[in-house]
Amino acid sequence: MRPIHSIGSVGLVTFLLVSASTAYSQAATAPVDQAVSGGLSSVMNSASILANFGLLIAAVIALFVAGKQIRVARETEAINAYEKYHHVSLEYPRLANGFDHAASTPEEYTQYEFYVMCMLLTIERVMTLFPDDREWSAAFLDDVRRHQKFFCSNRFAQHIDSLDSKVVHFIECAARKFNWTYPYAASKMTTGATRD
């Protein structure tokens, strides 16, 4: 997968920092007799130092802008992942809310399982981009709450070891928050299987 940040911004910042550092070091280590030899030399030296200082300021600003770009790219990626998941929810509303486990056919239940795994992959993606973000966690708690019956079932147990440990922990926290009888708490810790 391609990195989230812009290579161009990082390359520009690196170039500016190296240029400023090199120029500053050249100006600072110039022989003393050149700096004192005449007024023109002294003015040029001062201008060089000012130019290098300006270059350093530009590098710091570029670094700040690159950081903002990375944050915006992460937000965009998280929102896109969440929107795709919600489009699936709108397309299959019976899977998203009030799925009737008892009256479903094996094919319908498999579809439901895929839907829940899609939701969990979305949670994993967003949690990777924004770990410990309260707003995202609140949104996902609401989504997870609707699938208590599945998360407490033997069918879900088959998937636990293939899930990211952060997602499993998130489901365990949801189970505690909503007072579920959740039989799989800390199961990844006992098996030692992690995917991250």
Residue 129 has pLDDT above 50, yes or no: yes
Residues 6+ apart with CB under 8 A from 96: 88, 89, 90, 115, 146
Q: Is the pLDDT reported for residue 141 higher than 60?
A: yes
Higher-confidence residue of 14 and 140: namely 140
Give the residue among 189, 121, 112 at the shortest CA–CA distance from 153. 112
Mean pLDDT is highest, among 45-49, 60-64, 65-69, 84-88, for: 84-88
Section 37-61 average pLDDT? 76
Q: What is the pTM of this model?
A: 0.64
**Residue 48: pLDDT band with limits 50, 70, 90:** confident
pLDDT number for residue 10: 52
> Can you say whether the dihedral through the CA atoms of 145, 183, 173, 4 is positive or negative?
negative
The rounded distance, in Å, linking the Cα atoms of 35 and 182 is: 76
Q: Which long-range contacts (CB under 8 A, 24 or more apart) does 126-134 make?
A: 126/78, 126/81, 126/82, 127/164, 127/166, 127/167, 127/170, 128/164, 128/166, 129/4, 129/74, 129/77, 129/78, 130/74, 130/78, 131/166
